[in-house]
Homo-oligomer: A and B are copies of this chain.
């Protein structure tokens, strides 16, 4: 990957298309810095700890800041609930804490209880391109159904990266969607300035993609909950990390006067939840963001979707479907895991993201790791 740190040099044009699966999680992650979190993460501490989930990123970085028309800092992230080779929908539910954003396809998720394809995340002005490209990809891969028809209502969400990216240049193309989908893999998930998160800003630090997971105790079924965020919300002084007012302790240059960002959150689990329950899970994301200090500003598109990889075949149209359902009385550990993994995924995005210079010479600094540790130490919250 490439960083636009060559300010003042002659313009150099290039495209880097980086594929998430080839990149391990950036080190260190928030835990590595000694940030204390509750609960037990899965092996990767990533959404891909949920078996079957695949993630792919297309990262588009090109141009110098002095070349406004071509300063590209954007991309596409794909989350495939059962991997790219499955046509088997998953049960899903969604929720919006503040709707200044787009997530296409949610009307059908709400109605049917199913998520029928991938969840895509990109920038605000490229949602349409990505949406139609998902249809094209599906048509190409599996052909029409037996009656000769094929239609779909893809899920594509966005946050706005116009502070760093030439968003009005519409640089995301259908091919970028295909590559995010095709490159999707299980395993570690690249975080920070990658995929749809490439040009994002979080609490006036550099933001982007973050992920985390929790594994439940076997007495609660041993299920996994994974969260992936595209983090672009918040003002500096809101930011709390592990309850510590980190934002106030590390003041910086104002990026904006208001909360104009957004956050898209994808929650995956292998617990057998039905759509009603998955909506409940999606609503818990707000509580995790509350821990990080969010007030969900007017300009924020805080939209969340949760799905379950259990109950494969539930969407088949033939005969009665046999389902498993976790009783509501046993759902609390899933709720807790969702809150905890959301809280951590945002911080992971902040820790992984690197300082970026973008369009108009705009620069957004990364959260300084050493200062974070100092502040945690000041409040007796540093783990190691």
- Mark A residues whose CB is within 8 Å of B: 96-108, 110-114, 124-133, 135-136, 139, 144, 148-151, 153, 156, 160, 162-163, 167-168, 170, 240, 242-245, 258-259, 272, 274-277, 280, 283-284, 286-291, 293-298, 301, 303, 314-332, 335-336, 338-339, 360, 378-381
Contact = CB atoms under 8 A, between A and B. Distances in A.
Contact of A276 (B126, B275, B287): B275
A279 B327 CA distance: 20
Nearest to A99: B111
A47 B101 CA distance: 28
Given A323-B322, A379-B381, A168 B153 contact: no
Contacts of A240: 243, 291
Contacts of A379: 379-381
Nearest to A331: B298
Contacts of A378: 380
A321 B243 CA distance: 38
Contact of A320 (B128, B242, B326): B326
B139 A132 contact: no
Copies of this chain present in the complex amount to 4
Given A162-B149, A243-B245, A339 B380 contact: no
A298 to B, nearest CB: 5
Nearest to A336: B295
A107 B101 contact: yes
A98 B282 CA distance: 12
A151 B132 contact: no
A284 B295 contact: yes
A285 B300 CA distance: 16
Nearest to A132: B128
A267 to B, nearest CB: 14
Contact of A335 (B96, B135, B298, B317): B298
A112 B99 contact: yes
A331 to B, nearest CB: 5
Contacts of A259: 332
